[in-house]
Structure 1
Amino acid sequence: MMEKWKAQSRLLVGGLFLVCFIYILNSPAINQYVSFVKGQPVTATVEGDLLRKIDGILEQKQVPAINARIDQVWKAIPGYNGLKVNREETIKRMLENGEWDDQKIVYDEVEPEIGLKDLQPSPIYRGNPQKPMISFMVNVAWGNEYLPEILNTLKKYKIKSTFFLDGSWVSKFPEEAKKIIDAGHEIGNHAYSHPDMKKLSMNRIRLEIEKTNQVIEKEIGVRPKLFAPPSGSFDQRTVELAAQEGMFTILWTLDTIDWKKPAPSTIIQRLTPQLANGATILMHPTASSAAALPELIKAAKLKGLQMGTVSDLISSKRVQSIE
């Protein structure tokens, strides 16, 4: 008799916690537990119904993963991880607090079935439009005098970017290249001699890419995973040869056109309205972009956008908007 009483007591305590969940969620199933509290024995069917009810609520909180795909306009679009509720950890948290709180739901990220590497080689112009992140991509073949200001601004705002380096520039200025990598930024390949890639032979395309990778690896100890064709000029051969080297071909969503030396205010006024999920912003080490960068960063933050490297942007990993 005593053991039976203990067993019923344990069921009662567990039932009361579930009552709290269901009550806060305004579930009709509360009546079933009210009956139990009054002394009616709980059945496996009642428990099962309530657990299914909770599972149904948690199911609604889940977010499906988005597969990478080829878009007619934007070409390769990265996927975006989904969210699956960790049922056990979520219920454990709710029991600890004695109440339902959506903020305490525990999620696990779920990768898409199709990622960028599963697609045919294709240029990437932007990140996933559901990802509240942008990336500043800086192509470097000249402009050493403006690099310190850009690096200082990025440091001030604790932002990492991707610098696509011209191979001949790295050969001439290895110490400048080291300053970029030492600051924690990502390094990409910008070909060796700033050629028009689509006008080159297959062998020359391969040479431009390989030689740049070799000099970057020799001078600063990293092997680029991203390739940005000079002046944005490329063809499918370029994309495929870069892919053979294990590299994605990166273009841009928004262009500062800073090589025309516009006023910084012109860059800010033109680009700010267009800052949006997944955007890549092209710039060079110029006076115009160096001066405009702080305001672009502030504008992005006001829009709830995080900022990171191009690799961060095109990964499927989820990020939270800046509040």
Structure 2
Amino acid sequence: MSIRAVGLFFICISFLTGLGLAYFTVNEAVTVNKDDTLYQKINDEKEKYEWAAEDAKIDPVWKKTPGIVGREVDVEASYKKMKKQGGYDPDRFVYKLIKPEVSMGDLPPSPIYRGHPAKEMVSFLINVSWGEEFIPDMVEIFSEHQVKATFFIDGEFAKEYTHLIQMIEEEGHIIGSHGYMHKDMAKMSKADSKNNLEQADELLFALTKEKVKYFAPPAGSYNEGTVEAAHEMGMETILWSVDTVDWKKPTKDVLISRVMSRLHNGATVLMHPTEVTVNSLPDLIEKIKKEGYHIAALPKLLSEER
């Protein structure tokens, strides 16, 4: 090959690489040698870095609990990667994700109190049937701190304050149902519960054009028929594991202390649009993040992802 041809060859390779089209290197192919001490080392150490998948289940205390994915080491892919890059390094393990065999959708109707206990994530649940004057500030604080929450909206409230519901949705938060007119659903028949939920669902769908997937019973009051009615409508019944008790108007310090002392993996933190909640949120968010938790809306908390 002439010098000119060689030059053109490398110019072409440089161009293709810049486009992300050239991925090969000299001697890229690595033959797997199972007798290699590197291969044996990977095989011996892999269990330290693997996680078993866990199925969704009905816990006797926490009721419906999501599963979580596992992972196993792809020994051959890990060997090839380490062989090319200079030797054994656990940071270069290649993994295969293992999905649970039982998902939340496979389980019978049951309320949900928390996410998976191995998941370093918490979720804010805001029950809304009053407190309209505080919602814009809450939404602004969440935006400033890049936090997404789940707002459970009473149907009657949605009818009166449509602009607030649209504001919440436009900011990327999840809209759930809080029923209609804040009724005690534990005192209702299954048929009455379904009728109540349908009234709220129609109003929320008209505003958001999204099917409601989550329902929080007013005051956490429900019976078996309530949960079954929600399930038949494609909704999960959501309760909580940490309560701010903000409706009793505690001080900011008391509210933050109450939450932080009870925080755990997979926690669901109940709050309402109140003055003390608005005043507490910036510091509360920072403290939760400093403890190493991610804050996300319910779909992420309840997903099987780690």
SS in 2 for 1:138: strand
**Pick from 220, 223, 242: which aligns with 2:230?**
242
Deviation at 1:87, TM superposition (A): 3.5
2:258 matched to which residue of 1? 270
Contact 2:116 2:265 in 1 (8 A): yes
Residue 293 of structure 1 pairs with residue 281 of structure 2: yes
SS in 1 for 2:239: coil
1:116 matched to which residue of 2? 104
Aligned partners of 2:48 and 2:132: how far apart in 1?
Answer: 53
Aligned partners of 2:149 and 2:96: how far apart in 1?
Answer: 27
**Pick from 64, 87, 94: which aligns with 2:52?**
64
Aligned partners of 2:77 and 2:139: how far apart in 1?
Answer: 42
1:183 matched to which residue of 2? 171
Deviation at 1:56, TM superposition (A): 3.7
Residue 199 of structure 1 pairs with residue 187 of structure 2: yes
Aligned partners of 1:108 and 1:50: how far apart in 2?
Answer: 20
SS in 2 for 1:47: coil
**Pick from 138, 141, 151: which aligns with 2:139?**
151
TM-score normalized by structure 1? Answer: 0.81
CA RMSD of aligned residues (A): 2.1
Aligned partners of 2:98 and 2:199: how far apart in 1?
Answer: 38
SS in 1 for 2:51: coil
Matched AA of 1:253: S
* Bigger Cα Rg: 1
Aligned partners of 1:299 and 1:283: how far apart in 2?
Answer: 16
**Pick from 109, 113, 121: which aligns with 1:125?**
113
Aligned partners of 1:153 and 1:106: how far apart in 2?
Answer: 39
1:230 matched to which residue of 2? 218
Matched AA of 1:208: N
Q: Alignment length, in residue pairs?
A: 278
The worse-fitting range, judged by mean Cα deviation, of 105-114 and 132-141 is: 105-114
Q: Please list the CA deviations of residues 178-224 of structure 1 after superposition, one character each: whole Å capped at 9, or x if unmatched.
A: 00000000111110111000111222200111121111111121111
1:91 matched to which residue of 2? 79
TM-score normalized by structure 2? Answer: 0.85
> Unaligned stretches of 5+ in structure 2?
1-28
Matched AA of 1:299: K
> Unaligned stretches of 5+ in structure 1?
1-12, 19-43, 319-323
**Pick from 70, 74, 77: which aligns with 1:82?**
70
Identity across the alignment (%): 39
Aligned partners of 1:155 and 1:101: how far apart in 2?
Answer: 39
Aligned partners of 2:155 and 2:294: how far apart in 1?
Answer: 30
Matched AA of 1:63: W
Contact 2:109 2:228 in 1 (8 A): yes
